[in-house]
Amino acid sequence: MFVCTLLTDPAHPSLNPAMADALRNAWGGRDVQWLAVDEAAAFTLPAIPDNRWEVWGDMQDHGVDLVVLPFEGRRKRMLIADMDSTMIQQECIDELADVAGVGDRVKEITARAMNGELDFEAAIVERVGLLAGLPESVIADVLRDRITMTPGGATLLATMKADGAYAALVSGGFTAFTSSVAADLGFDENRANTLLSSGGILTGEVGMPILGQQAKVDALEEITTRLSLGDSDVLAVGDGANDLGMLHRAGIGVALHAKPSVAAQCDVRVNFGDLTALLFLQGYARSEFIEG
């Protein structure tokens, strides 16, 4: 048995009963369950339809995300999440680079690395090198003035943790940011790269080894082993090429507002919903959400 979930932007909901009912009827599904009025609905069906991606494209034109998943085991016992452009709305290194006066150059490298056009580790080294001489105190300023949480993140964490789930923030960014974001949102642990400094000044070097795509997969393996969980118990979310390993490994791997080249490699794509979409995908109704 499978479940089809339809999602839209909660700030501008565009999902109507006629749309959900028409798809349910076309695919021979059972009764539509509304997880949130005009925002999220789900119905079960016996098999994955052959025209899933054709219909997905049609739904995208209406501002609706469509996801088909196995019905059993939807509620996950662990969340592993990327940080930049996932749990937060910015790329931290880009914000630091703006302050350092090298924003355009670093943003170009970041975009290419997240699209998978550049080696991630080499791109980190190059970008961090451009930050040499920046006062370490700027990190706190960037956190305070430039970093905003992605809508729905605190609710995602609070709801899953209230149901007994473990949450890990695993980023190709930097511990100076993940430690703050993890504390604010309620993650149980965080892993990231380290910006090196001397005398309160960034040296332009990053601590080794660099946490990239394989390190995220390793983190998933290490944490699930420690908690006696399996890959199928994990919900992973990210947006860049360095997230693909963990997205493919997890029971549910969500490409959230991902780069097109990344989304094309994932079966679960959320382009309109916020982070509460990850709760709807697990079968939670909005009435079950716990505000973080």
User: Does 84 qualify as catalytic in the annotation?
Assistant: yes
Pick the catalytic residue from 21, 38, 61, 82. 82
Answer with the one of 55, 72, 89 that is the final residue of a domain.
72
Query: Does one domain contain both 64 and 79?
Result: no
CATH of the domain at 52: 3.30.70
pLDDT value at residue 114: 80
pLDDT per residue of the chain (292 residues) written in tens, 0 to 9: 999 999 999 999 989 999 999 999 999 999 999 999 999 999 999 999 999 999 999 999 999 999 999 999 999 999 999 999 999 999 999 999 998 899 899 889 888 888 888 888 888 999 999 999 999 999 999 999 999 999 999 999 999 999 999 999 999 999 999 999 999 999 999 999 999 999 999 999 999 999 888 999 999 999 999 999 999 999 999 999 999 999 999 999 999 999 898 999 999 999 999 999 999 999 999 999 999 7
Answer with the one of 19, 40, 72 that is the final residue of a domain.
72
Spatial separation of the C-alpha atoms in residues 2 and 68, rounded to whole Å: 7
Query: Does one domain contain both 47 and 183?
Result: no
Query: Does one domain contain both 64 and 163?
Result: no
The torsion angles phi and psi of 37, rounded to 5 degrees, stand at -55, 130
What is the layout of strands, in order, in the sheet containing 166-174? 189-193, 166-174, 78-81, 234-238, 252-256, 268-270
Q: Tokens representing 260?
A: 């097109």
Query: Does one domain contain both 264 and 292?
Result: yes
What is the layout of strands, in order, in the sheet containing 33-36? 33-36, 40-45, 2-8, 64-70
Answer with the one of 38, 72, 106 that is the final residue of a domain.
72
Query: Does one domain contain both 25 and 67?
Result: yes
Q: pTM score, two decimals? A: 0.95
CATH of the domain at 95: 3.40.50.1000
Q: Kindly provide the b/e burial profile for residues 80-115, where b requires at least 16 CB atoms within 10 angstroms of the residue's own CB.
A: bbbbbbbbbebbbbbbbbbbbebeeebbebbeebbe
**Where in the sequence is the domain holding 190, given as residue range(s)?**
75-292
Query: Does one domain contain both 63 and 147?
Result: no
Query: Does one domain contain both 219 and 128?
Result: yes
Spatial separation of the C-alpha atoms in residues 87 and 150, rounded to whole Å: 5
Q: How many domains does the chain have?
A: 2
Query: Does one domain contain both 46 and 109?
Result: no
Query: Does one domain contain both 209 and 102?
Result: yes
User: Does 65 qualify as catalytic in the annotation?
Assistant: no
Sign, CA dihedral 26-31-35-37, equals: positive
- Element at 202 (helix H, strand E): strand 201-206
Query: Does one domain contain both 198 and 237?
Result: yes
Query: Does one domain contain both 54 and 138?
Result: no
Query: Does one domain contain both 25 and 153?
Result: no
Pick the catalytic residue from 84, 243, 267, 274. 84
pLDDT value at residue 212: 86
